[in-house]
Amino acid sequence: MSAFVIAFLLAASATRAPREPLRAKGIFADPKGGREVYVFVDVHLCSAEPSLPAAQILASLDEGKTWELTGPRLEGSEFQLAQGSDEGVWVAGLHIAEGPGIDPFLLAPVVPTDLREPWLLHPITTGPSELVKVEKAGPKNLRAWIRPVNHADAIRKGPPRAAVVFSSDDGGRSWSADRGAGSGAPGQFRKFAPITERSGAWRIVDRSDGGFDVQRREATGTWQTVRKFPWSPCDEPAAASFDQRR
């Protein structure tokens, strides 16, 4: 083998995209029966340097035929709540790497849709927190119930701390704890749903080999696997790597 070929192979190996095993954490499907399906995953980067799993969204816009990792990659974070709307899917979560959750955030869909960056990340507040619930009225008005926490709460007796209501009237770009219940009429607000392993006619199923399946319930009531995602531990050859576009 010539020196040129050896040098080319070494360069290709060095520049190859890092492996990123995925673990599914939850799923959200368009409640109106549309074609969009979103799987919330932990992305594990295989690298020499230690790193935390990062929360990201695995999205399909064609009923599971093709998938793409998209949206901001949030190291040490967890997506907890979601809601579908005419603008797209709204997501709320926390940074959880330090133990008690901190710095609750909102992912707001970009309107009009930008396939390169479909969500904008907006912090709700800072500090140790519990994300109690989030509600939305129309494309602009939101309110979030955030319970402040600290390490002493684990041994503290008595009722939990009261949640603080944060409101936004600009689609989550800015939040305030002193605007009351928000500017939308009470009946207009819809509550975000917890992110779980099942959403409507869709679910995720963990496999014994570490991977997971995305399944859809057919009209007969049976579950059909739409896509299998592999799990390749970092210390094993990546025989079946994840193709974002397949």
d(CA 199, CA 216): 10
* Model pLDDT for residues 99-143, shown as the tens digit of each residue: 778 999 999 998 766 666 789 999 999 999 999 999 999 889 999
CA atoms within 13 A on the CB side of 67: 19
**In this structure, are residues 244 and 67 in contact, taking their beta carbons and an 8 Å threshold?**
yes
Q: 189-221 pLDDT, tens per residue?
A: 999 999 999 999 999 999 998 899 999 999 999
Quick: pLDDT tens for 74-91. Answer: 999 999 999 998 888 999
Q: Locate 124 and state its tokens.
A: 């709700």
pTM: 0.81
User: Residue for token digits 């939305």?
Assistant: 136
Tell which residue, 13, 21, 12, has the closest CA to residue 241.
Answer: 21
